[in-house]
Amino acid sequence: MNMTPSQAFVGPLGASRLARLAPFFLIGPVSGPLAAGVVFNLRGGRPVLASLYGLALGLWLTVVPIWTAQVLPGMAARLL
């Protein structure tokens, strides 16, 4: 099997994989794959792994904005 970069994305497996994952990448570069992990693991019958992906997604959506709101004023004060 030839795994050149162009063949990996254009081949029959690459095109279907890209079409299957494309909606999740529209959500975002980090939260999209985490949401895909939740959905695909629930469909695959792995609820524990899906809950871990859900926990990571929840932390990403709550902790990162809070942390950013605390860090940005300090960074702006250093610039001025």
Which tens digits make up the pLDDT trace of 26-72?
888 899 999 999 999 999 999 999 999 999 999 999 998 898 888 88
Identify which of 59, 60, 41, 40 has the alpha carbon closest to the alpha carbon of residue 49.
41
Flag whether 3 is in a domain. no
Flag whether 5 is in a domain. no
**Structural domain count of the chain:** 1
Residue 8 pLDDT > 80: no
Flag whether 42 is in a domain. yes
Residue 79 pLDDT > 90: no
Q: Please give the residue that has the higher pLDDT: either 77 or 63.
A: 63
pLDDT at res. 9? 54
Domain interval for residue 45: 23-79
Flag whether 52 is in a domain. yes
Flag whether 16 is in a domain. no
